Structure 1
């Protein structure tokens, strides 16, 4: 198959001079759009003619509107069959799917075509019912589209135009096998269009297998060198990161912050709320309705800061984001380009700030250099540094702010129950602070006497082992042990203790002791002969159930040698140890 043919970039032209239906021209006028962006001028002639297209352009350049106009113009006034759409748009994330279908809706309605969102995290029965009634264009994530097809709720034999948006991101997320399955079910020779800010070798196999004589359009090189975007790198000390983040969040304007992990996004959002900056977290672990609600609130300007993982880095368009902050620096060039592209979109101005800790400076320097930008560097030791003033940073109020995630915004699902969420998780933030206090106390508190049997070094709140009565089993960490960090169970016997110093942290054992003591009393009341009952080993890395001790038999150690450790030798009442098989407590 021949490689994709390249055509030169086109200059922007007026939409009314293009071969578009009057209905679409009217919608564009209502939205204040008169001239096409460069990528739209380049793509539309080939797309309207039914050609296969590869398009690469900088993020925010108008790719979504380009294929929206092409598909709606092509399907204008067409009859739609039940379960058989005419067009499919595949996107990697649910957020991007919501944004794309919102873009398509007004144009589809203008030409008498229905568009339907099909994505995970939403009611599949409602989606299946909508498709069964007949829709012209489906905007879908690959997994949910396959689910509907396997249910028999969707057939792809009449699809005439297929769009794969953010094709390279599909590859990064491992969706290419699903994409291949979907394309294989669509008739060969129908129109295929691939759109992305970057097109590299990962999608070449898809292109060679499913596209026929594609035309390639590239309007800009792959870089973050947008002329209206200023780049800054702040080399900060770890102790200053929280306060620097708060100052950037308190600035005037809308700010989008990126973290590496979901827990990081929740933590940063909570820290901003604590100092008076209204912020909400967005990541893949949130219920879909809550994610839509958070995005709706940020879009309408209800709060100024959104803290997100890379789920928001690809394709999402939010107006008037004036600053992007890489709270955790990007891991590679693509990530930096896509994150940064959330600002300075469609000719607007924007600022990109990266916070680099000492061990991240060298990697950040390389990524910024590969992105083809000239970044202003500054060493920041505290939040009083003048570099923050130049970026518009301000001192936050210091008064805790209302969590914006607990408000329902226009555009959120009608049945959204915001009472089931705590937004930026206050409980986890409280646990985080409590854990920090515990760690501080562990560093200050001297080690106590030797505790715990073998395996007690990582025992849970196992408390005291049960004291063996006549023939009873000495058990370390009896009763249900608690979480990490507690004492390994300490067996009390009249005989000698067989223990060694424990390296476990000297905290968290009291509740376990109370539980164990209560268990001992219950066991004694149930078994007057003093047989040791079975009990679960201490928490954390627990041992299994202890073997039952019996009269005249050795009590067992934990089945898995859990944190309770081996019980000490139980001896006769005189306090001396005995090897008698009838009187001795088990090892």
Structure 2
């Protein structure tokens, strides 16, 4: 079995590697390091968690051990797609150069330009950067790339997928043609073959696993959820996530929860915290200082659940992640491999659970086609319905009475008020018969004597001029329909229409 002492590395580098606890290189390291030490371009393809970072850091610092950097002219350049991955490469550099006098600078967003300029002005052997910040320094006249001897593109496919092709091409044009180029990635899609053919010269291709494969130490699972309405799917997933965490129990020591959208990252993190789970979000819209603190807390074991966008899917090395939950099915099938690769690292076992709705079926099919296997469905899972989802909007029952609309905008109509008031004021009164029924009534139900009627409603004196309100009341009383009532039930209301006209 090959050991690091047999790869041709600098003895001081081997000493640092041994002190870090490593003796045997991984397959990608065993294949890439000798070729890189010979000055060849390398195209390394390996699944996540196989040690690609050391595959270029170790030969790079061995080649740079002799020589000296000049101001504003770094001797090597490492490009990373995200700030977190760039910071991790910088940590690896510090670990393996502890016995060498090599300098580095980390150029990422969210950090003061002044501090980075000071490092560049003194001269650095290794420059680790994201493309955007690197070009910012170059355009400000603070950086020259004509002294780059070794150039590394880490997570090359991700760099290209994220829209960095114009920036990458420009950066390559600023470096010497005689540079040595190293490409490392977990996947290598056919559409970027042209780019690699342009950037690399007769590269040594090191592929230790079939493209887009997941580690065998990761147990994969899909929980399918059925929602009749799209607006309840997210609430169902949040409930299913909590139920799954409880199902896993103590085996779920810590986990990363991946979401497709930044807004969902915040919502899921708040939901977990609301139900008593120790969770925090991380995505590209947060301040770099907050992202760094959250990651450090998660690495140190002070945070149990890290809810993240794909900013944490690539290259982040947290060895002891027990679970990966995919709240959403990734729209790009390659991202599935990167996400689940956050667990089961360095030979450890891990578990990856994904929640899928029928609307995400086409993405799930693409993932299984890429993996060339069917992801097992959870057996005996409790199917979550939208009715039990706590965040789902409640639907009105079909049996529930519906509010009555009125022209006046009030809760009840005038007629309803009158009926209610009449039933309270005169509960013993007979109900009003329909006109046809009133005509069929016997003559004994005739109108009371005129004097009784006069006594109930005395006519106003002729010398008194009726008021405006009284005139309106009189006009209402002349109508056929009963519009309103007073404090009592008038006797004429029980009469038929013809009898009232005759009277």
**TM-score, structure 2 as length reference:** 0.73
1:244 paired with 2:245, answer no
**Cα distance in 1 between the residues matched to 2:36 and 2:343:** 28
Aligned-partner Cα distance in 2 for 1:374–1:20: 42
Match of 2:210 in 1: 221
Tell me: CA distance 1:113–1:258, structure 2 relative to 1, closer, same or farther (3 Å): same
Alignment of 1:75-474 (within 5 A): 75-237=64-226, 238=233, 240-250=236-246, 251-252=249-250, 253-361=253-361, 363-378=363-378, 380-382=381-383
1:369–1:446 distance in 2 versus 1, CA, 3 Å? farther
- Alpha-carbon contact 1:249-1:305 (below 8 Å) kept: no
Higher helix share goes to which structure?
2
3-state DSSP of counterpart to 1:195: strand
- Report the secondary structure of 1:13's partner residue: coil
- 1:206, 1:184 → 2: CA distance? 13
Say if 2:16 and 2:98, in contact at 8 Å, map to a contact too. Answer: no
Report the alpha carbon displacement of residue 316 of structure 1 after superposing the two structures with TM. 1.1
User: Which aligned runs of 4 or more in structure 1 are off by greater than 3 angstroms?
Assistant: 237-240, 247-251, 378-384, 443-451
Q: Secondary structure at the match of 2:160?
A: helix
In the alignment, is residue 33 of structure 1 matched against residue 29 of structure 2? no
Counterpart CA distance in 2 for 1:207 and 1:358 is 37
The CA deviation at 1:383 is 6.7
Sort the Cα spacing of 1:446 and 1:145 in 2 relative to 1 into closer, same or farther, 3 A.
Answer: farther
Shift of 1:249: 3.8
- 1:53 corresponds to which of 8, 31, 42: 42
C-alpha distance in 2 between matches for 1:26 and 1:103 = 14
Structure 2 CA distance, aligned partners of 1:19 and 1:335? 35
Whole-angstrom distance in 1 between the partners of 2:375 and 2:87: 34
SS at match of 1:198: coil
**Cα distance, 1:202–1:89 mapped onto 2, change above 3 Å:** farther
1: CA distance between counterparts of 2:168 and 2:77?
12
State the shift of 1:436 in Å.
6.2
Alpha-carbon offset, residue 68 of structure 1: 0.5
Distance 2:358 2:189 in 1: 32
Aligned residues of 1:78 and 1:113 also touching (Cα < 8 A):
no
What TM-score results when the alignment is normalised by the length of structure 1?
0.63
For the residue of structure 1 that corresponds to 2:188, the secondary structure is coil
- The question of whether the paired residues in 1 share the 8 Å contact of 2:45 and 2:207 is answered with yes
Distance change (3 Å), C-alpha of 1:207 and 1:274: same
Report how many residues are paired.
391
User: Distance in 2 between the 1:366 and 1:84 partners?
Assistant: 45
Say which one has the larger Rg. 2
CA shift for structure 1 position 271 = 0.7
Conservation of the 8 A alpha-carbon contact between 1:24 and 1:110: yes
Q: CA RMSD in A?
A: 2.6
Q: CA deviation at 1:126?
A: 1.1
Unaligned runs of 5+ in 2: 227-232, 409-503
SS, match of residue 364 in structure 1: helix
Deviations 1:465-522 (A, max 9, x none): xxxxxxxxxxxxxxxxxxxxxxxxxxxxxxxxxxxxxxxxxxxxxxxxxxxxxxxxxx
- The answer to whether the 8 Å contact 1:259/1:308 transfers is yes
Unaligned runs of 5+ in 1: 1-11, 385-431, 452-587
Deviation at 1:171, TM superposition (A): 1.0
Deviation sequence 1:137-171 (CA, Å, 0-9, x none): 01100111111111111111111000001111111
